[in-house]
């Protein structure tokens, strides 16, 4: 069995222990082994350094480290100048604090009738005698009295560590040994999607490629029109801002982004990108109002959007959908007005909880696009939030099984091939540009442009074939 302690928290404990790389082996877990001093001692005695971790129902994680083996003596104070208490999480958020031992002579107490006890004055006393489970909870009978006597409490109170309760959902004891951990975050040895070398040259080549993009000759299209659709907060506006930032050479925020229940973006804005030389790139990223269960864009409006009937900067009004009689309605759109590639934007962290209504709505839109032969992609945003490894180093995105699983899930949910699912991390909190963010976003953009080209080519051939047929008909007459 693997414990609940995350890789990130192991990193933190390893840093606090401070003597190089450490492996953490789960010895004892009360949910598995029962909460009983006899069992604790039987399993954990004479195992060398250990860390005890308590988890409570308020989302707090805390405990103690001792470098000395536990033993089944009867109430003996044990010296340990390396012991410390700590907290990692408080009420659901990271809260990282180490409480170093002040009086090492009685850092821990060994007693065969008790669970782990740190500090002779019961500074972190887990349990005395057997504790029965009550639902998901073990109401431990220890306490954190006199917190600050043996350990430096840094001015904090016990309540600020354990929420004023010794009820826990889990208590684990890990053996700590020297050695490099094989990281639990299931990093794959080969990528799940292969791309060229992830380096500065690749970045510059990709960036340049999009500058040179030109719509298919003879398709009568001056710029590729990419339509972004998706739930509110999925990251549509942020994706445009990300691409815009890459080409402006600084973080930009031309499209308003943020969080609110309803759409911040209410108009149809066909953003184009101007590079530093003043030239405009030959594609437009069209931002729209979000797909909401009740108030968002409806299927009819989407139909008009795809066909190019809706004028630029049109303000969507959920109570009064656009009709052919509406002001500015383009009743005779050209190939240039049409959408050439549709991108459904989905927040990767919401895949498990997307409402069936929204999924049905997205599937309905896909049906419409299929009829029109419009290629579809899914932009899977916020992959930084899926996986610690990816958050630390975005270049690991194609090695992360968590991201791969999200791609699979999105592919199943909406019935699109895996190759059409594009993971990205938008600029959101960064002050400076970052090559890794750029590469991932540019890869997504490149795929959008390739799909647009495919559509334009089909459109051109269809027109030619239709004209050819008509020519033949005329000749026959």
Ligand X SMILES: Nc1nc2c(ncn2[C@@H]2O[C@H](COP(=O)(O)OP(=O)(O)O)[C@@H](O)[C@H]2O)c(=O)[nH]1
Q: Which residues here bind Mg ion, judged by CB under 5 A?
A: 236-237, 265
Partner whose binding site includes residue 233, from ligand X, Mg ion, none (CB under 5 to 8 Å by kind): ligand X
Residue in 115, 116, 119, 233 binding ligand X, rule: CB under 6 A? 233
Partner whose binding site includes residue 385, from ligand X, Mg ion, none (CB under 5 to 8 Å by kind): ligand X
Minimum CB distance to ligand X smaller for 385 or for 436 = 385
Q: What is the C-alpha to C-alpha distance for residues 359 and 205, in angstroms, rounded to an integer? A: 36
Secondary structure of the chain in HEC code, one letter for each residue: CCCCCCHHHHHHHHHHHCCCCEEEEEEEEHHHHCECHHHHHHHHECCCCEEEEEECCCCCEEEEEECCCECCCEEEEECCCCCEEEEEEECCEEEEEEEEECCHHHCEEEECCECCEECCCCCEECCECCECCECCEEECCCECCCCCCCECCCCCCCHHHHCCCCEECEEEEEEEEECCCCCCCCECCCCCCCCCCCCHHHHHHHHHHHHCCCCCCCCCCCCEEEEEECECCCCHHHHHHHHHHHHHCCCCCCCCCCCCCCCCCCECEEEEEECCCCCEEEEEEEECCCECCCCCCCHHHHHHHHHCCCCCCCECCCCCCCCCCCCCCCCCCCCCCCCCEEEEEEEHHHCCCCCHHHHHHHHHHHHHHHHHCCCEEEEEECHHHCCHHHHHCHHHHHHEHHHHHHHHHHHHHHCCCHHHEEECCCCCCCCCCCHHHHHHHHHHHHHHHHHHHHHHHHHHHHHHHHHHHHHHHHHHC
Least distance (Å) between residue 271 CB and ligand X: 12
Per CB under 6 A, which region of 95-103, 105-113, 182-190, 252-260 contacts ligand X?
A: 252-260
Does position 259 interact with ligand X (CB under 6 A)? The reply is yes
Does position 425 interact with ligand X (CB under 6 A)? The reply is yes
Partner whose binding site includes residue 375, from Mg ion, ligand X, none (CB under 5 to 8 Å by kind): none
Residue in 3, 64, 215, 235 binding ligand X, rule: CB under 6 A? 235
Does position 166 interact with ligand X (CB under 6 A)? The reply is no
Least distance (Å) between residue 279 CB and ligand X: 26
Residue in 14, 36, 298, 428 binding ligand X, rule: CB under 6 A? 428
Applying CB under 6 A, the site for ligand X has a residue count of 22
Does position 261 interact with ligand X (CB under 6 A)? The reply is no
Minimum CB distance to ligand X smaller for 245 or for 265 = 265
Least distance (Å) between residue 229 CB and ligand X: 9
Minimum CB distance to ligand X smaller for 245 or for 426 = 426
Does position 340 interact with ligand X (CB under 6 A)? The reply is no
Per CB under 6 A, which region of 14-22, 231-239, 271-279, 445-453 contacts ligand X?
A: 231-239
Does position 265 interact with ligand X (CB under 6 A)? The reply is yes
Least distance (Å) between residue 265 CB and Mg ion: 3
Residue in 106, 382, 447, 460 binding ligand X, rule: CB under 6 A? 382
* Residues 348, 294, 235: CA angle, nearest 5 degrees: 30
User: What is the per-residue burial (b if ≥16 Cβ within 10 Å, else e) of 38-77?
Assistant: eebbeebeebebbbbbbbbeeebbbbbbbbbebebeeeee
Least distance (Å) between residue 444 CB and ligand X: 11
Does position 258 interact with ligand X (CB under 6 A)? The reply is yes
Does position 236 interact with ligand X (CB under 6 A)? The reply is yes
Does position 4 interact with ligand X (CB under 6 A)? The reply is no
Least distance (Å) between residue 382 CB and ligand X: 4
CB 378 within 8 A of CB 344: yes
Residue in 290, 308, 375, 423 binding ligand X, rule: CB under 6 A? 290
Does position 77 interact with ligand X (CB under 6 A)? The reply is no
Does position 309 interact with ligand X (CB under 6 A)? The reply is no
Minimum CB distance to Mg ion smaller for 160 or for 237 = 237
Residue in 123, 170, 384, 388 binding ligand X, rule: CB under 6 A? 384
Instruction: Please report, as ranges, the residues that interact with ligand X according to CB under 6 A.
Output: 230, 232-238, 257-259, 264-265, 290, 345, 381-382, 384-385, 425-426, 428
């Amino acid at each position: 069995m693997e414990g609940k302690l995350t890789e990130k928290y192991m990193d933190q404990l390893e840093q606090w222990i401070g003597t190089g790389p450490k492996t953490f082996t789960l010895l004892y877990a009360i949910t598995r082994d029962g909460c009983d001093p006899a069992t604790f001692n039987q399993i954990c005695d004479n195992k060398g350094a250990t860390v005890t971790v308590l988890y409570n129902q308020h989302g707090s994680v805390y405990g103690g480290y001792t470098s000395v083996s536990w033993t089944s003596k009867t109430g003996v104070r044990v010296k340990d100048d390396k012991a410390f208490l700590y907290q990692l999480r408080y009420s659901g958020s990271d809260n990282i604090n180490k409480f170093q031992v002040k009086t090492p002579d009685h850092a821990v107490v060994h007693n065969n009738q008790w669970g782990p006890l740190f500090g002779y004055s019961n500074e972190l006393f887990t349990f005395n005698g057997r504790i029965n489970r009550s639902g998901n909870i073990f109401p431990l009978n220890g306490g954190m009295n006199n917190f600050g006597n043996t350990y430096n409490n840094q001015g904090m109170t016990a309540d600020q560590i354990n929420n004023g309760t010794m009820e826990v959902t889990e208590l684990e004891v890990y053996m700590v040994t020297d050695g490099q951990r094989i990281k639990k975050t299931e990093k794959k040895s080969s990528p799940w999607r292969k791309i060229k070398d992830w380096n500065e040259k690749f970045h510059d080549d990709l960036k340049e490629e999009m500058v040179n993009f030109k719509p298919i000759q003879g398709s009568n299209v001056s710029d590729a029109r990419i339509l972004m659709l998706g739930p509110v907060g999925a990251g549509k506006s942020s994706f445009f801002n990300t691409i815009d930032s890459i080409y402006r050479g600084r973080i930009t925020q031309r499209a308003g982004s943020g969080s609110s229940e309803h759409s911040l973006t209410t108009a149809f804005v066909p953003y184009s990108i101007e590079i530093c030389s003043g030239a405009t790139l030959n594609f437009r990223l069209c931002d729209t109002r979000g797909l909401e269960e009740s108030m968002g864009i409806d299927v009819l409006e989407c139909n008009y959007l795809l066909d190019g009937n809706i004028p630029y900067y049109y303000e969507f009004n959920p109570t009064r959908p656009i009709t052919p009689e509406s002001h500015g309605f383009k009743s005779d759109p050209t190939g240039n007005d049409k959408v050439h590639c549709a991108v459904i934007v989905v927040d990767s962290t919401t895949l498990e909880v997307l409402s069936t209504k929204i999924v049905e709505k997205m599937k309905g839109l896909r049906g419409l696009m299929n009829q029109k032969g419009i290629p579809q992609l899914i932009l899977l945003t916020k992959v930084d939030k899926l996986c610690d490894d990816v958050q630390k180093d975005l270049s690991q995105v194609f090695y992360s099984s968590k991201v791969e699983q999200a791609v699979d899930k999105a592919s199943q949910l909406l019935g699109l091939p895996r190759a059409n699912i594009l993971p990205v991390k938008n600029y959101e909190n960064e002050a400076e540009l970052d090559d890794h963010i750029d590469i991932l976003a540019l890869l997504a953009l490149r795929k959008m442009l390739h799909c647009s080209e495919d559509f334009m080519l089909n459109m051109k051939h269809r027109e030619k074939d239709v004209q050819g047929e008509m020519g033949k008909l005329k000749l026959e007459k």
